[in-house]
Structures are given as structure tokens and as C-alpha cells.
Amino acid sequence: MEDFMSQLQTPRQPFFLQYCHLISLLTLAFILCACSREQVDAELLFIFGEEGAAPGQFKYVEDFAVDGNGNLLITDALNGNVQVFSADGTYISMFGATKQIGGLRKPEGIAIDEDGNIHVADYLTGHVEKFSSDHNHMLTYSGYGSVEGKTQETEFMTFHQNGFLYVPEAGNSRISVFDKEGNFQFTFAQKGNEPGQLSRPEAIKHNSRGLLYVADLGNHRIQVFDEYGNFLFLWGNEGDGPGEFRKPSGLAIDANDNVYVAEIGNNRIQKFNSRGKFLYMFGQSGREPGDFGNIHGLVIGLNKLLYVADTANHRVQVFDVR
């Protein structure tokens, strides 16, 4: 009887307030669903390549460069060559085989200078081999070592607007800088985990403002420097959540300066704005279309499509991320 009387004495929430509360919850749920749908903003368009050593096949896809015609130049570390494809994945040609002058043992980084000449970094020899736009060998510079002007375990590099080539060295945990004739300029960063220090940097790419983004693989983060090597800011730590990384590898930057980061450890790609704000992510470990295995280099083509080095699956996957 007391319970019944207490219920009568307790003010009951008006029905319209309960109704409003329900509508608010449903609205919030709709907004969250819409946001989650926006995160999947990458459409797989096509795939090319398969395992092998023949033209158009890969053993270990590493990184990309895009020439003035929109063709893709793709390094293959185990086949020891560079293959050229049209933007739609059609095989065109191959160069850099070890029996040729300027032959490559383990090519990884590749970049094209303002004259259209191609520079390829060899992970094993420390050499950077320079080829003309029609793939004739022109010059060998640098070499394996830790003194200035030498490199160790070179990775994915970039030609900056200032005309300099920035080369990340996993072996020396630093960035070495050369001009397009192969003359050494300077180095920056050293091994460590403090801001501005690196641990086995895997890639460096620049944006339209000349800022340099470095995939700091061993420290599971992205660091940003100016063209002189001055540290600016960083983001990320080890993990598998949004904005977290496990062994970030490839980098690509689009015309709006958005940054795409591939992760070897999480086999996915995350997209950020230029200040490191998380936008969305896609991909998972696997062998199906849209899955990745030991993901490495990335590049945005002249067609604004994202090309992905799906290394363990011996293929390149192409996404519309516009």
C-alpha cells in the first residue's frame, strides 16, 4: 500500500517530454549512422598485376612515381626493376634490370625531377640511379654508408618544389637531401623517439605548401618538417584506432593537401587533412578485392585516383577517393 501511495505522490514525466526525448535519441542515431557512412569514402575501381617475373607481374611492389603523361612507374624490390604502366593499368615497358648499366638490386624509392628524369633509390647498394625520361641510364650517385652523402636502406622519396630530392634512410634514421645532379646538400633528424627524431622512416612526401610529411615507421606516427628540416608538428601513436598507426609506410598527398597513410601493421589506409585531423579509413588484412597484405607505397595519379601497392598480394589496387 505504501509503494502504491508513493507512486501516486511521485510526479510523472509528461508524455510529450518522453516523446521529445525519444525523437532526440532517434535524431542522434541518424546523425551517427550518417557519419559512419561518410567514413567509407573510397571506391575500389580496378586491380592490376599478379605474382611473377614477366612483364606486368610483381614479386614485391614498393612505390610509385607519376610522369608528365600520367603513366605510373612502379618499383619491384624482388624483381629488381621498374615497370611502366598507363593510368588504367596497361603494361608499357620495363627498365633497370641488373644486367643493364645502372642495374638495380633492390629498388624501392622513385621520384621524377623537374626535367622529367627518373631517380631510383637502391635499398641494398645505397646508390641512387638516375635515368632519362626514355629510361637511359645517366648517373649513379650516393652509396652505402652513414657519413654525409651516403645512405643506408633508402625508402620512398620525393622531389620538392625547391628542386631538391629528399631521401628517407631507414638504416640511418634520417633524411638526406640531394640536388637533381646528385650533389649532396644536407641531412636532418636522427634516431630517437622525441619530436623531430625518427626511427626507420619509410616515406617522405611534400604538399602544395612545401611541407614535408614523414612516415616515422618505428615510432608509429607522422611527423611534419619544413624544407630546411625544421620540425613543425606530429600526430599519431601505436594502435589500431582512428588516428593511430602500426608501422606507417606509404604516403600520398592530394591536390587539397589531404594526407593518405598506409600501415603495414594494420593493413589499411587512413585519410587526414593537412593538420592531421582524421577523416576516414578503409581496408583490412586479406586477399579479396579491397583487402591488403603488407601494404606499402601510395600515389595520387594525374587522374586523382589513389594507387596502392598491395605488396603481399602482388598487385596494385586503384581507388576513387575524390
HSE-up of 192 (CA within 13 Å, CB side)?
7
* Chain segment 252-309, per-residue pLDDT in tens: 999 999 999 999 999 999 999 999 999 999 999 999 999 999 999 999 999 999 999 9
What confidence tier does 173 reach under pLDDT thresholds 50, 70, 90? very high
Q: Has residue 23 got a pLDDT over 60?
A: no
182-214 pLDDT per residue, tens? 999 999 999 999 999 999 999 999 999 999 999
Closest CA to 121 of 162, 160, 59, 65: 65
- In the chain, pLDDT over 70 holds for what percent of residues? 87
pLDDT value of position 132: 97
Task: Say if strands 61-66 and 81-85 run parallel, antiparallel, or are unpaired.
Answer: unpaired
pLDDT of residue 103: 86
Which of these, 113, 112, 117, 162, lies nearest to 135 by C-alpha position?
117
Amino acid 102: pLDDT: 74
Write the CB contacts of 190 (distance below 8 Å, at least 6 apart in sequence): 173, 174, 197, 198
How far apart (Å, rounded) are the C-alpha atoms in residues 60 and 242?
28
Q: What's the pLDDT score for residue 245?
A: 98
- Which residue blocks in 40-96 are alpha helix, DSSP H? none
| Residues 104-125 as b or e (16 or more Cβ within 10 Å = b) | bebbbbbbbbeeebbbbbbbeb
**Close Cβ partners of 134 (under 8 Å, ≥ 6 residues apart):** none
Amino acid, single-letter form, for residue 248:
P
pLDDT tens-digit map of 140-156: 999 999 999 999 999 99
What's the whole-model pTM score? Answer: 0.88
Q: Is the pLDDT of residue 130 over 60?
A: yes
pLDDT, residue 26, reads: 43
- With cut-offs at 50, 70 and 90, classify the pLDDT of residue 97: confident
pLDDT attached to residue 39: 54
Residue whose C-alpha cell is 625547391: 162
Any idea what the Cα angle at residue 317 is, between residues 121 and 259, rounded to 5°? 65
Give the model's confidence band at 168: pLDDT under 50 very low, under 70 low, under 90 confident, else very high: very high
